[in-house]
Amino acid sequence: MLRLSEQNGFKHIGYLLRYAGLKWKNNRAPLHQILAGDFDLTPYLIALGLPEHHSRIKHIYLTFKRAIDTPYLITKHPKVCPDCIEEFGYCKYEWNFLPMLTCVKHKKMLIDTHPATGKKLCWYRQHLNKFDSDSGIFKPASSTAPPIAITLSQYIEALLSNRKINTAVPVILHDLELRESLSLIHFIAHYQARLLGDSFSPLAMHNYELAQNYQNVWKILTDWPDSFYALLSQYIDQPLSSRGSGGLNKHYRDLYERLHRQQQNQGIFRIKTEFDRYIEAYWPGVLDLNRLTRINLTSTTRNIISKNEVARILGCRLERIDKLVQQEKLTPVLFKGKAHYQRDQAESLAAIMQENWTMSEACKALQLTRYQLKQLLDAGLFKALQKPDSLNRDWIIDKAHSQKVIKSLRIKAREQPPPGEALTMTALYRLGYSIVQLVLAMQAGKLGYCTTNDENHPHSFKQFVAFWFTDHS
């Protein structure tokens, strides 16, 4: 249409349209919308007596699915190949796709920016082959484009025209549709830009800048998946916030969320597969599924935590954590020399400590001396979940088991002692009974006894009083 306007001597495409009796506001045709398929040009073309134009771009654009595919497809400003315009006298619609960096025929970068003024090329220019009336006709780029830029353009052109792809394309892109492939490319571009604290906004970039971004993505895709792992691990040095591992978790959660949302896109799904593998290999537990609900992905609870946080959860000193690791009670997540820990492990360990007795807690509840309790533990009548050794300072006594032992002793006790003299516990000790022998004899029924049913000290040994020898002894 621009060509028609120019060759018929109109100064602006709008004048042509007005001449044809078609009033367009401000003489501006919504060219971007026309290309994107949001605007139906057909009635205007019929009014101008032009053959109905079948918009391939519109067709391609409509295959893109909202929220699943990339929203970026068509440039905001036109791109042109000066050689082609000179040779054939018209522009090709393919040039206006973002990833078309070069002219496939001439192997040169497409032009969208005035080399001197930096002004972007306009849809509404007067001449097809000039930026504006002040500057001369477009000068083609003097050298050929970088090889990757050419390959990418050939690849995209083949996808656009449903032709077989002749160029060497990274394996990860094999058999993908344009929308899937471009989504994958933009996904990587976004997270690459993210690494530099930037965002990938292709519509605001000029062709050379865009080419730089796409080339970097292409390199990653060529060395897939190692290069992707390297990209992900770079986030470790670039946490999303200053809160150490918290920032890292945020990165991964953000990545996970986007991958999850777009996983119906085959291209994104391929990234997701590799992302899942990476997390499992290097950061197991970082995305604890119990904590990671689809609704509340921004929750502040993280599963991967620092050593200090573990110490706080367990109420212990930092050195203790190294010992717990040696005992394989905590599995550190080692990456680039930094150890992180899993919150769920620390919490379940803390729960074990909470739900059981330390040595002094046990002595207090059982009303035994440390020496007596130690004897019962050694004899296996009471159970220790943890014994002091070179790696532990503290005992952890199985509280539930201990309580069960006392309960069964209480059940065996009699209401009243039989007539005759009963012995005190101290008297039995004097007779040479150890605490172990005493308990064994009580359990075996060789000693009869009464209980005071002391509800203030329900697990105390002191509730057992008045012993006597039974017939079994």
CA atoms of 99 and 376, how far apart (whole Å): 77
Q: How near is the Cβ of 154 to Zn ion at its closest, in Å?
A: 13
d(CA 317, CA 119): 63
Minimum CB–partner distance for residue 32 and Zn ion (Å): 22
Q: Is 72 exposed, middle or buried (0-12, 13-18, 19+ CB in 10 A)?
A: buried
Cα distances from 59 to residues 34, 36, 54, 64, 92, in angstroms, run: 12, 9, 9, 9, 16
Helix (H/G/I), strand (E/B), else coil: 385: strand
Could you give the CA distance from residue 177 to residue 174 in angstroms, rounded to a whole number?
Answer: 9
Q: Is the Cβ of residue 84 or residue 176 nearer to Zn ion in the bound state?
A: 84
- Do residues 216 and 299 touch, judged by C-beta distance below 8 A? no
**For Zn ion, which is the closer residue by CB, 147 or 458?**
147
Pick from 342, 233, 349, 353: nearest CA to 290: 342
Cβ of 99: how many Cβ atoms within 10 Å? 25
> Closer to Zn ion at the Cβ: 105 or 472?
105
Alpha-carbon gap, residue 435 to 377, rounded angstroms: 11
Identity of residue 113? T
In whole angstroms, how close is the CB of 105 to Zn ion at the nearest point? 5
Bin 292: left if φ > 0, else alpha if -120 < ψ < 50, else beta: beta
Q: In angstroms, rounded to a whole number, what is the distance separating the alpha carbons of residues 377 and 363? A: 12
Footprint on this chain of Zn ion (rule: CB under 5 A)? 81, 83-84, 103, 105-106
Backbone angles phi, psi at 76, to 5 degrees: -85, -35
Report the nearest approach of Zn ion to the CB of residue 231 (Å): 34
Closest distance between Zn ion and the C-beta of residue 108, in Å?
A: 7
Question: Which token pair is 447?
Answer: 């000693």
